[in-house]
């Protein structure tokens, strides 16, 4: 077993030499946010698995090696292209509000207490990760759960070297982790200090849980001893999730959204994802001849900023389509997009925007020799979710309730206020910024992209797609370029500090309120052609592409 772990780690370059996070492959490729997760997916591809198997393996491994961002205590979205059918499939395994949830559950003495939606057991929504992975494997995979979980189980049981990103998250959250016996026992040293990059981390209890799921993970997670233990743990800490919440959870297969752009067809996740916002922003940009403006030139960025603002204003109309009517046909119609473009290009402010939610998250991309492609985005929301781990199971539980509108006008952890469409209701899924995307030309996938980092997912994916389509850049260049972000509320332009000072000053002179930040999320990109896969993980988060 120890030899297998060494093989997984050696499949990726060391982090010290990871300036180049790109790769090429002829037969298959995985782009994930840790080298171990990418290696886990490629291991499954080499063993005869397809892209769905590899994506599920990489997701489980990411939940071990990026435990602050995602795991089986959370949920996500999966966009699948199958070459055998030539069709796209969208799987929603987003977390759900407990059946006892109410729109006023975070009000105390008539006032909203948003901290209750961020930390502690009331912040937990019903996890969907295992249900989603099980559904994808049963319908479109070729391997059983234990086969695809094997790399994650090895990493959790035998240990993995702590990456820079997770090390920073642990150090930043040390005091909060110390308050929870489960989290502190795994992620802090015996003296309570934070481990350093390269230190081995073990998640042996999680390894045991993954093994106990057997090859019927949905049944074994959502019914019986595991569900009972999770419900009891959550309730003992003041939460409202019950065994019935677990038993009644189901993932949902939805119809993907798509729209033409510059001779390509762009497919993405429908609500409660915000993928449609990416399509709206692309539609506003399409007639703009962006290639002639120059990569990250002030005129290009000014146009991008205005379009981002309009997109986020529309985002407040998105929500769980099983609970609210999302006017997606109208939002993606040429008439509406033309109106948005008119406002954006002439700086005409629309109605005030509601700030956007969510954060954390991890994204990965998998492609195989048969032409199948998967983009998967998974999350437990903010760093270490609810800051609670069930010590008997090793499962870190999400704080996805913060992705709902906690109360009218109250911003969440990411300064995004909730709109009516995203109010809390029993069994409802919160709105998400996750936007796994696949671009097609002449019927074949040619680009896959996705991101992590809350609302910056939408703007990061948008910029990466434009870099590849309009500026003809490769995955590495598109991922490495400094990015901007504008989400309408607050009406501030966030710019990465790598952006040239001359460009930043030019935007300031145009009147934009600019704030420079170290990083804006993380994006993974893959370009796809027969026998020629090229991909890049985002160095902002330690991502890596591995191909073969």
3-state class of 432 per DSSP?
coil
CA–CA gap between residue 325 and residue 460 (Å, rounded): 27
CA–CA gap between residue 456 and residue 484 (Å, rounded): 9
Give me the helix-helix angle, 145-158 and 51-65, nearest 10°: 20
CA–CA gap between residue 513 and residue 233 (Å, rounded): 46
C-alpha closest to that of 406 among 104, 94, 96, 124: 104
Q: Is 361 designated active site?
A: yes
C-alpha closest to that of 482 among 502, 509, 460: 460
Helix H or strand E encompassing 243: helix 243-247
Query: E strands within 41-183?
Result: 75-82, 87-93, 107-108, 111-112, 160-161
CA–CA gap between residue 256 and residue 71 (Å, rounded): 24
Q: How far is CA 488 from the centre of its chain?
A: 21
Are 219 and 230 contacting, i.e. CB atoms less than 8 angstroms apart? no
C-alpha closest to that of 81 among 244, 258, 312, 344: 258
C-alpha closest to that of 541 among 454, 458, 451: 451
C-alpha closest to that of 433 among 484, 494, 363, 334: 363
Determine how many CB atoms are found less than 10 A away from the CB of residue 392: 16
Tokens 């590849």 found at: 468
Query: E strands within 158-296?
Result: 160-161, 200-201, 252-254, 257-261, 264-268
| Per annotation, catalytic residue among 62, 361, 378, 437 | 361
Name the token pair of 99.
């059946």
Helix H or strand E encompassing 494: strand 493-496
Query: E strands within 327-443?
Result: 362-367, 373-379, 388-390, 395-397, 437-441
3-state class of 204 per DSSP?
helix
Residue-wise DSSP of 161-191:
EPPHHHHHHHHHTHHHHHTSHHHHHHHS-TT
Q: How far is CA 180 from the centre of its chain?
A: 25
CA–CA gap between residue 449 and residue 465 (Å, rounded): 7
Q: Which residues contact 394 (CB under 8 A, 6 or more apart)?
A: 156, 182, 186, 203, 204, 205, 206, 207, 208, 209
Q: Which residues are catalytic?
A: 361
């Amino acid at each position: 077993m120890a030899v297998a772990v060494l093989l997984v780690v050696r499949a990726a370059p060391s982090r010290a030499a990871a300036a180049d996070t790109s790769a090429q492959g002829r037969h298959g490729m995985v782009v994930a946010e840790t080298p171990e997760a990418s290696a886990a997916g490629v291991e499954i591809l080499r063993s005869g698995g397809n892209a769905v198997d590899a994506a599920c393996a990489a997701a489980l491994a990411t939940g071990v090696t990026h435990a602050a961002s995602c795991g089986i205590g959370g949920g996500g979205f999966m966009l699948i292209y199958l070459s055998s059918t030539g069709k796209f499939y969208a799987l929603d395994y987003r977390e759900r509000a407990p059946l006892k949830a109410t729109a006023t559950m975070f009000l105390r003495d008539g006032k909203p207490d948003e901290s209750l939606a961020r930390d502690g057991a009331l912040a937990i929504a019903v996890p969907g990760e295992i249900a989603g992975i099980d559904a994808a494997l049963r319908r479109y995979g070729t391997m059983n759960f234990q086969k695809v979980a094997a790399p994650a189980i090895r990493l959790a049981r035998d240990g993995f070297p702590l990456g820079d990103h997770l090390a920073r998250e642990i150090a930043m959250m040390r005091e909060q982790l110390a308050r929870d016996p489960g989290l502190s026992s795994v992620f802090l040293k015996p003296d309570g200090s934070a481990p350093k990059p390269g230190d081995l981390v073990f998640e042996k209890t999680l390894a045991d849980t993954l093994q106990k799921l057997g090859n019927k993970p949905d049944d074994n997670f959502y019914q019986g001893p595991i569900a009972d233990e999770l419900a009891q743990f959550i309730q003992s800490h003041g939460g409202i999730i019950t065994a019935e919440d677990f038993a009644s959870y189901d993932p949902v297969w939805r119809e993907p959204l798509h729209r033409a752009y510059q001779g390509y067809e762009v497919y993405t996740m429908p609500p409660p994802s915000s993928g449609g916002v990416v399509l709206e922003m692309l539609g506003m940009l399409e007639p703009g001849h962006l290639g002639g403006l120059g990569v990250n030139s002030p005129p290009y960025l000014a146009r991008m900023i205005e379009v981002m603002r309009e997109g986020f204003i529309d985002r407040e109309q998105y929500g769980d389509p099983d609970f609210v009517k999302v006017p997606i046909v109208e939002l993606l119609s040429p008439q509406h997009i033309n109106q948005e473009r008119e406002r954006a290009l002439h700086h005409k402010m629309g109605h005030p925007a509601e700030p956007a939610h969510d954060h954390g998250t991890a994204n990965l991309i998998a492609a195989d020799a048969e032409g199948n492609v998967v983009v998967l985005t998974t999350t437990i929301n903010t760093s270490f979710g609810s800051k609670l781990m069930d010590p008997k199971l090793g499962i870190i539980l999400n704080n996805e309730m913060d992705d709902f509108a906690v109360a009218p006008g109250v911003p969440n952890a990411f300064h995004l206020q909730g709109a009516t469409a995203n109010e809390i209701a029993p069994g409802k899924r919160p709105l998400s910024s996750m936007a796994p995307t696949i671009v097609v030309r002449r019927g074949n996938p040619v680009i896959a992209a996705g991101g992590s980092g809350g609302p910056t997912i939408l703007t990061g994916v948008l910029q990466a797609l434009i870099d590849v389509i309009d500026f003809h850049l490769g995955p590495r260049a598109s991922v490495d370029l400094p990015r901007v972000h504008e989400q309408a509320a607050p009406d501030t332009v966030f710019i990465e500090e790598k952006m040239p000072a001359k460009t930043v000053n030019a935007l300031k002179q145009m009147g934009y309120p600019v704030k420079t930040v170290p990083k804006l999320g993380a994006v993974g990109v893959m370009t796809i052609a027969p026998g020629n896969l090229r991909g890049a993980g985002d160095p902002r988060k330690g991502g890596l592409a591995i191909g073969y």
